[in-house]
Amino acid sequence: MEYREFGKTGFKVSVIGMGTYYDPSYIILARLLRLHRRKALKIAALRKGIELGINLIDTAEIYETEGIVAEAIKGFKRDELFIATKVWLTHLRYEKVLKAAENSLRRLGCSYIDLYQVHWPNPSIPVEETMRAMSRLVDEGKVRHIGVSNFSLEQFKKAQEALPKHELASNQVEYSLTVRRIEKDLLPYCEQNNVAILAYRPLAHGSLARVEGILAKAFQEVSLKHGGKTPAQIALNWLVNRSRVVFPIPRASRPERVVENAGAAGWRLDDADMARLTRAAGGQE
Ligand SMILES: NC(=O)c1ccc[n+]([C@@H]2O[C@H](COP(=O)([O-])OP(=O)(O)OC[C@H]3O[C@@H](n4cnc5c(N)ncnc54)[C@H](OP(=O)(O)O)[C@@H]3O)[C@@H](O)[C@H]2O)c1
């Protein structure tokens, strides 16, 4: 596995992480019936990833997967893992943030969270109030680093201003070969300021693992040049190669897919491949 420093945290994080959001029906069944569909397979997939050196796992209180992460990390060295979770947007009042963090810690079976992220901005709650609680969690040692998710550049800067004692480590946003909105302003800012980007939906919901048409042709050419890399590996390598601050977090529910995704690290697309793929995806280089 290949590792990079995660923003300014000093922590070496695997360039490929693992996401754990399944789908709304999974969440509903888990919440109403305490039924976690295909739980053993999901745990096996996460454990396989950790065995392969992936140390970044992303979850959230809303996903109903913190318990799965807790089981998956059992027996591994806690201090080598980078566990990221999120507080939901209805829990952004001061007391609610503190309570949500306690609940996440309990479900994760951990004494601290490496990265605690505000899942979505909530304009009806002052970000200063949320960040006061986040700051307290760091001071108490319950959270190592604070992050946000789905924050625009302007919202990110405002959140940082509300945190005089700590620096925001990351912003988790959608980013893939086919969805590149963040390249306009957020990504350049994060590169200049060494803020990590957790790239969600890095496989565009799986569609980049089964490419068609012009894109398939470009993927095939690149694959031939690099010893038969799969579309998922190429799409993830494109992200890792695109910027040193980007950490894709593909979700994979089966061990063999995690093995495949881990194989997106440790090699490099060259400039010509990057340009070829970007053009085929309909974007500017
Ligand atoms: N912050 C936010 O608001 C937000 C929003 C969305 C997602 N996220 C995070 O980002 C993570 C990833 O996003 P996502 O799950 O929506 O999309 P994604 O990772 O782009 O795509 C997931 C889909 O790709 C499939 N897949 C994964 N690896 C594959 C492979 N090697 N070959 C073929 N198919 C493969 C998965 O199948 P199986 O799972 O069936 O194996 C799943 O159907 C989430 O799990 C979550 O942690 C965050």
| pLDDT tens sequence across 52-101 | 999 999 999 999 999 999 999 999 999 999 999 999 999 999 999 999 99
171 lines ligand 1 (CB under 6 A): no
Which one of 22, 26, 63, 200 is the catalytic residue?
63
63 is catalytic: yes
CATH number of the domain that residue 154 is part of = 3.20.20.100
Predicted pLDDT at 19: 97
The CA distance from 260 to 52, in Å, is 11
Is 285 domain-assigned?
no
Q: Please report the pLDDT score of residue 70 as a whole number.
A: 97
Q: Does the pLDDT at position 32 exceed 90?
A: no
pLDDT tens string 108-145: 999 999 999 999 999 999 999 999 999 999 999 999 99
Alpha helices in the chain (DSSP H): 24-33, 39-51, 66-72, 94-108, 127-139, 153-161, 186-193, 213-225, 231-242, 255-262, 271-280
Is the predicted pLDDT of residue 33 greater than 80, yes or no? no
Q: pTM (2 decimals)?
A: 0.96
The dihedrals phi and psi of 118, each to the nearest 5 degrees, come to -80, 115
In this prediction, residue 146 carries a pLDDT of 98
Domain assignment present for residue 125? The answer is yes
Per the CB < 8 A criterion, the answer to whether 140 and 132 are in contact is: no
pLDDT at 283 over 80: no
Atom of ligand 1 nearest to the CA of 173: 1
Three-class SS of residue 117?
strand
Q: What is the pLDDT of residue 25?
A: 86
Ligand 1 pocket, mutate which of 173, 251, 257, 258 (most atoms under 8 A from CB)? 251
What is the pLDDT, as a whole number, of residue 45?
97
pLDDT tens digits, 217-247: 999 999 999 999 999 999 999 999 999 999 9
pLDDT at 120: 98
Expressed as residue numbers, the domain containing 243 is 3-280
Distance 206 CA to ligand 1 centre (A): 7
Domain count, the chain: 1
